[in-house]
Amino acid sequence: MDSKYKARLFRTALVGGALLLAWQASLASDTPAVILLGLGALWLLATSLFQEQSLRWPPLLPWQLVPGSLLAALLWVDPGRHGAWLWLWAILVMLPQPAWLLPVQGGLAGISWWRIQQDLIPEQGVLVGLLLGAVVLLGLGRALYLRPLWQGVSRRQRLLPGTRLWTREQLVHDLYRERLRCERKDYHAELLLLRTKARHCWPLVRWLVAHLEPDENVYRLDRCTLATLLISRNADNGSQRRNLLLETPPWPLKARAIDLGSRHALSLEQRALARQAEDLVILPRPRAVDHA
């Protein structure tokens, strides 16, 4: 199936889930349940709306706690009416999530079971507990299957699909390649570090991608710092291009241009940029040392 179509299908399902929960909320009798179901509906709706933006959030953000705590609260306030939802814990455990969250979710599931079994005869309560344990273990098994997938997403090198935006690791790799290429051929390559306010960072990425040549990539080093490798025919052409790029930046930014011929460490330069007072600092290629 086409991936765009799939994404749309998922979004429709999210909106459908939000509507169903909202309907449930309108049918629920007591206020806390109405509020919880309404919050669940809002959360699903927000997830569907911010699906693209959510790619920018750090993948380790424990958003899985939101449905978990909503479910636990719902089962606590109204165990009689929403008893069937108890089994959803298995599905929540199945979601890819950081390892430390699993005991938390397990504890919440235990509390829900305790609340549910209060209304049941003891034998039935024990049976429910055993079965819940079994399905949660099955959910855990599914989560283990998907663990490599999730880890891969957390460590991905390209930050946004379809955009030339990469991670710091990729920059380190590319720096090495470009240095070698510069030494062999008479390119001029320079590492341009850009620092701006965190909220301007993502729009700046888009702007940079549009204004750089198609063979130049953008890298995101941290919340405020972006980098790019400007590859030009020679040093004059390179500084001309850099000045043109920095002439009218749409957002205020500080920049540091480092010639690839000079051996500077990336992390040191990044720190220097954070402390830098000037708008632009240029570190040219060091003069050839005269051995004579």
Partner 1 sequence: MPSLLPEEEKLWPSRLFALVYAAGAVMMAGYALWHYLMGDYGLIPLPTLLTLLLVGATLLRLSHHPQRYLSAYLVLISAYLLIAVEVAKLEGGAGLWLGLPPVLAFLVLPPASAILLNVLLGGLWLVLLVNPEQAGDLAMAYLVLTLLGALAGGEQARQRELLDATRPHDDSCDALRASAIRECLAQEFFRARRLEHRLSVLVIHLPQLDNPGDAFGGLPRRQCLQRFAEVTQHSCRAPDQLGRLSDSLFWLLLPDTGENGALMVRQRLLDALERITLPGGEGLSLRVALCAPHDDESPATFEQRLMLKANLLRESTT
Question: Would you say 150 or 207 has its CB closer to partner 1?
Answer: 150
Report the residue number, 157 or 267, with the smaller CB distance to partner 1. 157
Tokens of 53: 């933006």
Rule CB under 8 A: say whether 58 interacts with partner 1.
no
C-beta of 91: minimal distance to partner 1 in Å?
Answer: 5
- Which residue stretch of 226-234, 254-262, 266-274, 280-288 sits at the interface with partner 1 (rule: CB under 8 A)? 226-234
Tokens of 271: 């720190």
Site track 77-106 with partner 1 (rule: CB under 8 A), x = hit? ---xxxxxxxxx-xxx-xxx----------
Are 93 and 102 a contacting pair, CB within 8 Å?
Answer: yes
When asked if residue 25 is in the footprint of partner 1 (CB under 8 A), the reply is no
Of the pair 234, 262, the CB lying nearest partner 1 is at 234
CB atoms within 10 A of CB 262: 12
Q: Show contacts with partner 1 in window 169-188 (CB under 8 A).
A: 176-178, 180-181, 184-185, 187
Q: Choose which of 72, 108, 116, 193 interacts with partner 1 (CB under 8 A).
A: 116
* Closest to 98 in 3D by CA, of 169, 160, 154, 159: 154
**How many residues in the shown chain lie near partner 1 by CB under 8 A?**
76
271 binds partner 1 (CB under 8 A): no
**Contact flag: residue 7 with partner 1 (CB under 8 A):** yes
In 3D, which of 61, 40, 52, 56 has the Cα closest to residue 10?
Answer: 52
Q: Using CB under 8 A, pick the residue from 32, 62, 107, 141 that binds partner 1.
A: 141
Closer Cβ to partner 1, 145 or 251, answer by number = 145
Single residue of 23, 50, 57, 251 touching partner 1 by CB under 8 A: 23
Q: Which is nearer to partner 1, 96 or 106 (CB)?
A: 96
Q: Which of 8, 197, 223, 233 binds partner 1 (CB under 8 A)?
A: 233
- Binds partner 1 by CB under 8 A, chosen from 126, 153, 172, 244: 153
State which residue, 91 or 101, has the beta carbon closest to partner 1.
91
Query: Which segment (193-201, 213-221, 264-272, 283-291) binds partner 1 by CB under 8 A?
Result: 213-221
Nearest distance, CB of residue 281 and partner 1, angstroms: 26
Cα 77 to Cα 160: distance, rounded to the nearest angstrom: 41
